[in-house]
Amino acid sequence: MQKDKPPIQVFQGFITQVPDQTKVHFSRLNSGNINTTWLVAAGVDPLYPQGPDFVLQQINSHVFVEPRNIARQIRAVSNFLNDKLPGFVPLCVPALSGKPWVEDDRGAVWKMSRYVHRTKTINYISSANQAENIARAYGQFQYVLRDFSLPVCESPVKDFHKLAPHLEAFQYLALTSHRALAAQKLIGAISQLIHNWVPSINAELMQGDKNAVIHGDCKVNNVLLSLEGEHVCAIVDLDTVMLGERGWDFGDLVRSGANASGEDADNAGYSIDFFKAIAKGFAGALQDVLSSRDKEQLVFSCQYMSFMLAVRFLVDYLNGDKYFVVQDDEQNLRRANAQFRLFEQIRAQEPEMSGFMRAL
């Protein structure tokens, strides 16, 4: 993964209309656990002479084994959405070659989009109104894409939100990893649930046979909010747009947004009030397409996604931190423990969550 500044040739592969190529400035955007992201200030926009003008990203080819297909698909999805709802997602900047990516001399694949000014991201929801607006935007995202056929790949990451392959990896690593001892307590708790809870999860959620087009990484920090924080300006990070269950997005939003402690804390702080606001916004945007069974599935997805994230973080910890970016050796284990705690908190609130969703 590129840690140094991107080669200037990569940027030049995208654009020549830059007032002064010697004044192009890159700064690292330290968010996201997968790709390496840079902001580029190039003096292109007279309204914002200091920039940034673009977001330049190196696609992680360990996670996305066909990075060119990811870039192709993002361009198609982004063009489609921007035709229907202008500005709903950032505009892709095509390379001068006409392709939606530039390859550097080490074979790494880069994509670029326009920077959206006067916005911010958050890692935790702070009001019910904010929760509802964010959820409505993600619901609308799925709604607008309901008739869209994914042009390139149906699953940018193989078996992404399917629990079974993650559990297989867990079971193997729990027996073989030299880090298993340090994670014994969590390994024990997950192993128990594999016997007495996982078999009750319905097959649709496990398999994603629903064939809905979903965002795939529906975290609260993948929306750009207005500076006062109440309105959604755009949805970002289209890397994982895929076929799957609507609940995979809903559960991901609830687990990432309705948790006051965030992903990197030692504990979790689930807010059922924010769940309710998220449910209102998301189900409201999709009311034409959701059956009462689908709604029930949305509620269960919150348990499903928080449990799966606990397993994914733990698997990566046991496997030596090869997938998610980490700042220290314990971070994945901390994340796994926090997600597991969140899963337990969500599970305990299931009856009230179901009752609320049914009444919507």
Residues near ligand GN1, by CB under 6 A: 32-34, 63, 157, 217, 219, 237, 240, 263, 309
Shortest approach of ligand GN1 to residue 213 CB, angstroms? 17
Residue with Cβ nearer ligand GN1 (33 or 133): 33
Closer of 57 and 271 to Mg ion (Cβ): 57
**Binding letters toward Mg ion, positions 105-144, x by CB under 5 A:** ----------------------------------------
Backbone angles phi, psi at 223, to 5 degrees: -115, 145
Residue 92 contacts residue 112 (beta carbons within 8 Å): yes
The residues in 32-91 that bind Mg ion, with binding defined as CB under 5 A, are none
Q: How far is the CB of 223 from Mg ion (least distance, A)?
A: 13
Interface mask (CB under 5 A) for Mg ion, residues 157-196, using x and -? ----------------------------------------
Instruction: Tokens for 144, please give them.
Output: 């607008």
Which of the choices ligand GN1, Mg ion, none does residue 63 contact, using the CB cut-off of 5 to 8 A by kind? ligand GN1
What 3-state class would DSSP assign to 208? Answer: coil
> By CB under 5 A, what part of segment 205-234 binds Mg ion?
217
> How near is the Cβ of 235 to ligand GN1 at its closest, in Å?
12
Classify the C-alpha dihedral 237-225-296-270 as positive or negative. Answer: positive
177 vs 240 by CB, closer to ligand GN1:
240
Q: Work out whether 237 is an interface residue with Mg ion (CB under 5 A).
A: yes
Yes or no: say if 278 and 253 are a contact pair by the CB < 8 Å rule.
yes
251 binds, options ligand GN1, Mg ion, none, Cβ within 5 to 8 A by partner type = none
**Structural contact between residues 48 and 119, judged by C-beta atoms closer than 8 angstroms:** no
Q: Residue 262: left if φ>0, alpha if ψ -120 to 50, beta else—which one?
A: left
Residue 263 binds which entry of ligand GN1, Mg ion, none, CB below 5-8 Å type-dependent: ligand GN1
User: Which residue number has the CB closest to Mg ion?
Assistant: 217
Nearer to ligand GN1, 209 or 264 (CB): 264
Cβ 73 to ligand GN1 shortest distance, Å: 13
Hey, what's the torsion of the CAs at 108, 113, 117, 121, to 10 degrees?
-60
Closest C-alpha among 160, 220, 188 to residue 31:
220
Distance between CA atoms of 138 and 355, rounded to whole angstroms?
22
Q: Which residue, 111 or 219, has its beta carbon nearer to ligand GN1?
A: 219
CB of 148 to ligand GN1, least distance (A): 20
Residue 252 found at the interface with Mg ion (CB under 5 A): no
Q: Tell me the DSSP string of 234-297.
A: EE---TT-EEE-HHHHHHHHHHHHSBTT-TTSSS--B-HHHHHHHHHHHHHHTTTT--HHHHHH
Q: HSE (CB half, 13 Å, CA atoms) of 190?
A: 31
- In the bound state, the residue with its beta carbon closest to ligand GN1 is 33
- CA pair distance 131, 258, nearest whole angstrom: 8
- The secondary structure element, H or E, covering residue 103 is strand 102-103
Distances in Å between the Cα of 286 and the Cα atoms of 136, 155, 216, 274, 283 are 9, 22, 17, 18, 5
Query: What is the rounded distance in angstroms from the CA atom of residue 132 to the CA atom of residue 233?
Result: 14
Q: How many residues bind Mg ion (CB under 5 A)?
A: 2
Q: Quick one: 61 or 129, whose CB is closer to ligand GN1? A: 61
- Between 157 and 198, name the residue whose CB sits nearer to Mg ion: 157
Beta carbon nearer to Mg ion, 252 or 294: 252
Shortest Å, Cβ 309 to ligand GN1: 6
Where do contacts with Mg ion occur on this chain (CB under 5 A)?
Answer: 217, 237
